[in-house]
Amino acid sequence: MTMISIQGKGVSTGVAMGPLYYYQRAKSTIRRYEVEDVHAEWGRFKAAQSKAIDQLGELAEKAREEAGDEAAMLFETHQMMAEDMDYEEAIENLIKEEKLNAEAAVTDTAAQFADMFAQMDDAYMQARAADVKDVSSRIIAALTGVVQGGIDSPVPVILAADDLAPSETVQLDKTKILGFITEGGSGSSHTAILARTMGIPAIIGVGNQLKPEYEGRDVIVDGSTGSVVLDADEATRNVMMAKREEQLRQRRLLEELKGQENITRDGQKIKVFCNIGNPEDVPTVLSNDGGGIGLFRSEFLYLNCSDYPSEDYQFEAYKQVLSDMGDKEVVIRTLDIGADKQIDYFQLPKEENPAMGNRALRICLNRPEIFKTQLRALYRASAYGHLGIMFPMVTSVWEVKEARKMCEQVKKELDAEGKPYSPDVQIGIMIETPAAAVMSDRLAKLVDFFSCGTNDLTQYTLACDRQNNDLGRFFNPHHPAVLRLLKMVCDNAHKNGVWVGICGELGADLELTETFLSIGIDELSVSPRAVLPLRQKIRETTVSAVKEKVLADLLADENAL
Ligand code: PEP
Ligand code: MG
């Protein structure tokens, strides 16, 4: 059979393959008729409503066991919807005033509410249209005694449907499902949320590209790209299978290593934290067992807004990350724009060399009103967790002093306003310029921690533009100049009782894990998916056995490239 490629929107990552199967939904035709005893009919509705609410309670428990509290909440929301006063009143009117039978009254009300939700501007509210239909079909099923259909297949399948209601998703036998494809749906629909929490790849919005006559054909879905391939040719299949292998390897790692310490064979511990760009990244940090957040690139909040984000807007975002992370450490980096991250509303003058221009802390110190808004939001949020504030692109001692002064001013203001903040906020800086590395003995006296931004440190040390892919062998983050600077920073930090991490991409480079452990790095902050491979590497290392050689290699003639 010829290969067919279909593009949808991936809403739950992972690659899966199997036969395509269309969801069988038991469709009952709703009869409409006029009732004589409207009170008895209202009683029928109330009985069905309470049966539906009981079922939803059971489903909430099932979802809680399978996918946690967030999934359970969906059904608790449905319970509330089922007894929503406006919804119930609309049904009551149709039964008592129009003498309509309960099934038809629920059907009409569901359609009316679903239309209302669908017409709202907010995508989240639009997605609620599916929920009200789902709750209503449950009540109708209770009225008519019809049971929802399932998967009638002896082998696991890739399940296709026009759309799947959350209750349909949770009732399905998970051992039979390898992935979901729906014609409609939205990324914020509860089905997408459930699929993500259950770790099942899901693709939505394929429209009518997927046809019922494809049933039974072999299909591969890639939930990260949204691609659906039927009867893949050999090359496509190999690429997707390699991706799947990698994913399975991650899963196995997860099972083996989750909850384990980041400790070497000879007992040296190191923290493995995560880099994030949005509050929505936190669940992935937690599911990959990240020990904290070592770098929250706050400029993404600014990049997602069309004007300067307000103090309250930022406060809510920081507060969400801090509260979601519980008692784990969270390092939020202050605004790092400029260079490759340009934002129109900042109206920065065009520069010949933006990477060496007006960027990051330089902008903040030159435009204190912007900096202060962010610092106020950060300090206010600090009351909700374990916060570290970190300044990017430092080159001089005076910059850190000035930034710290701003922090003191902000704390005074908050004191005067009676707004709470944590007294234990740690202050740190990024070491990402050679100047900061060289001056780290002095800088260490001003801060609680250092975090080495090896992406920029490599670029500035080697005078190699990190954006320029053509520099090839000239751009070498393993260059001894970079590694020696890291060792120097580490030594200076420790002499002054300051902890030191790496939050650039190099932190996840397993070829250098032994080096980082040997020079005594305290924390590595990496993308969430890199946590467990790194943990595995750390647990396989015996630092005492490699340290001497690693340190000698930093100075060895043959390595002086
Ligand atoms: C770095 O420079 O290494 C770093 C972590 O910051 P960014 O990549 O955001 O510049
Ligand atoms: Mg940087």
Q: Tell me the CA–centroid distance for residue 430 and ligand 1, in Å.
A: 9
Find, among 124, 114, 277, 234, the residue nearest to 190 by Cα: 124
Amino acid residing at 183:
E
Please name which ligand lies nearest the alpha carbon of 393: 2
Higher pLDDT, 213 or 493: 493
Q: Tell me the CA–centroid distance for residue 453 and ligand 2, in Å.
A: 5
pLDDT-derived band at 391, boundaries 50, 70, 90: very high
The three-class DSSP label of residue 349 is: coil
Q: Report the alpha-carbon distance of residue 297 to residue 313 in Å, rounded.
A: 16
Tell me the torsion sign for CA atoms 36, 39, 44, 46. Answer: positive
Model confidence over 356-377: pLDDT tens digits? Answer: 999 999 999 999 999 999 999 9
- Ligand 1 binding pocket includes 407 (Cβ within 6 Å): no
Amino acid residing at 297:
R
Higher pLDDT, 37 or 176: 37
Residue 481 parent element (H or E):
helix 480-495
Number of C-beta neighbours around residue 514 at 10 A: 22
pLDDT-derived band at 444, boundaries 50, 70, 90: very high
Query: Does residue 186 surpass a pLDDT of 80?
Result: no
Q: 462: which residues sit within 8 A by CB, 6+ positions away?
A: 474, 475, 476, 479, 481, 482
Nearest atom (ligand 1) to Cα of 336: 9
Residue matched to tokens 């994913």? 247
Catalytic residue among 39, 78, 190, 274: 190
Pairing label, strands 15-22, 293-297:
unpaired
Candidates 274, 297, 461: which one to mutate for ligand 1, based on the most atoms within 8 Å of Cβ?
Answer: 297
Average pLDDT over residues 89-95: 95
Average pLDDT over residues 178-183: 91
- Ligand 1 binding pocket includes 299 (Cβ within 6 Å): no
Model confidence over 471-522: pLDDT tens digits? Answer: 888 889 999 999 999 999 999 999 999 999 999 999 999 999 999 999 999 9
Catalytic residue among 364, 407, 452, 503: 503
Model confidence over 111-140: pLDDT tens digits? Answer: 999 999 888 888 888 888 888 988 998 898
- 274 is a catalytic site residue: no
Considering only 289-303, 340-354, 497-511, 544-558, which range has the smallest mean pLDDT?
340-354
Model confidence over 298-348: pLDDT tens digits? Answer: 998 998 888 999 999 999 999 999 999 999 999 999 999 988 788 889 998
Find, among 3, 76, 56, 13, the residue nearest to 202 by Cα: 13
Query: Does residue 443 surpass a pLDDT of 90?
Result: yes
Q: Tell me the CA–centroid distance for residue 297 and ligand 2, in Å.
A: 10
pLDDT-derived band at 149, boundaries 50, 70, 90: low
The three-class DSSP label of residue 98 is: coil
For the chain, give the percent of residues with pLDDT over 70. 95
Contact status, residue 135 vs residue 142, Cβ threshold 8 Å = no
- 386 is a catalytic site residue: no
pLDDT for 472? 80
Query: Does residue 190 surpass a pLDDT of 90?
Result: no
Q: Report the alpha-carbon distance of residue 185 to residue 166 in Å, rounded.
A: 11
Token readout for 444 is 């260490």
Residue matched to tokens 């039964």? 95
* Complete edge-to-edge strand list for the sheet that includes strand 227-230: 4-7, 227-230, 218-222, 15-22, 157-161, 177-182, 202-204, 9-12
- Ligand 1 binding pocket includes 309 (Cβ within 6 Å): no
pLDDT for 170? 65
Query: Does residue 188 surpass a pLDDT of 80?
Result: no
Query: Does residue 353 surpass a pLDDT of 80?
Result: yes
- Ligand 1 binding pocket includes 456 (Cβ within 6 Å): yes
- Ligand 1 binding pocket includes 476 (Cβ within 6 Å): no
- Ligand 1 binding pocket includes 278 (Cβ within 6 Å): no
Q: Tell me the CA–centroid distance for residue 433 and ligand 2, in Å.
A: 9
The three-class DSSP label of residue 238 is: helix
pLDDT for 461? 97
pLDDT-derived band at 416, boundaries 50, 70, 90: very high
Mean of the per-residue pLDDT values of the chain = 91
Higher pLDDT, 524 or 200: 524
Average pLDDT over residues 439-468: 95
pLDDT for 471? 82
The three-class DSSP label of residue 74 is: helix
Pairing label, strands 15-22, 218-222:
antiparallel
pLDDT for 327? 94
Query: Does residue 409 surpass a pLDDT of 60?
Result: yes
Higher pLDDT, 308 or 248: 308
Q: 27: which residues sit within 8 A by CB, 6+ positions away?
A: none
Considering only 144-153, 169-178, 484-493, which range has the smallest mean pLDDT?
144-153
Q: Tell me the CA–centroid distance for residue 529 and ligand 1, in Å.
A: 18
The three-class DSSP label of residue 160 is: strand
Please name which ligand lies nearest the alpha carbon of 504: 1
Q: Report the alpha-carbon distance of residue 505 to residue 477 in Å, rounded.
A: 9
Query: Does residue 60 surpass a pLDDT of 80?
Result: yes
